[in-house]
Structure 1
Amino acid sequence: METAFTPGMSLLGGSLIGLAAVALMALHGRIFGATGILAGALLPASPGDRTWRLALLAGMVSGPILVWLISGALPEVQVPVSLPALLVGGVLVGIGVTLGSGCTSGHGVCGMARLSRRSIVATLVFMATCGATVFVIRHGIGG
């Protein structure tokens, strides 16, 4: 599988994520950590806390629909692994998010912007683990 290099779309997507993180902090005083937002939508701390979380999650899910309405085609998604591998990966990510007290969006986008030492270390660990995983899969396993 070849990885597409899309600097323009990547810059646009990253800019929109950054803008959303700033807007959420400015308007609600909340950190844009996707797993924390999802957890709070499923088990809200207070009744009014669920609404903005559900709205944000709906916006995340509706992105491909917006692309389809604008371009006439859904984004192409290739998942070159089996369903069991996806399930194991999902469980491992869930464990990592729990042990790391947050996900890449919370630590990498928001925590680093606040110069949080914990988030800087977590992001460095995420990136090193990602690089090692890609290397092992592409060069060791042959995926």
Structure 2
Amino acid sequence: MRTRSAVSVGAFLVWTIFVWGIVRVRNIMGDAELTSSERTWPLILAASLWVPAVVLLIVLVVTVIRKKPFGQAATVGVAVLGVWTTLVWMVRAFDIALVSDRELPFILVHLVLAVISVGLAVLAALALRPDPALTPNLP
């Protein structure tokens, strides 16, 4: 795996783990106004992002250590996680910016988080595209 590809994919995965696995889970669990049942769906949503990111990060680290190519299943996993990240942020950004009654700083912070998350997802997907120089020309 090329170093640039590993860095792009790694940045996306680490960012996802940080945003959804650390910050979001901490915010959910620290919100005294939420009951246990009200925490369930937000925690499931967060886990749907950070758990695959952890698995894919482990695969990435093992791949880099062994100096092997990133497997097709892992490549598809990163692409699916990127699409899911984009969809989640589209819905959340719309809700936060236009539907919920939020203060401007809160809206701006979350829009920046969305842009960074989607941008890193795109960079990771682009980094995992097949190298045209290594792809045989088919008639």
Provide TM-score, normalisation by structure 2.
Answer: 0.29
Higher RCO, 1 vs 2 (CA within 8 Å, ≥6 residues apart) = 2
Question: Relative to total residues, which structure has the larger helix share, 1 or 2?
Answer: 2
Provide TM-score, normalisation by structure 1.
Answer: 0.29
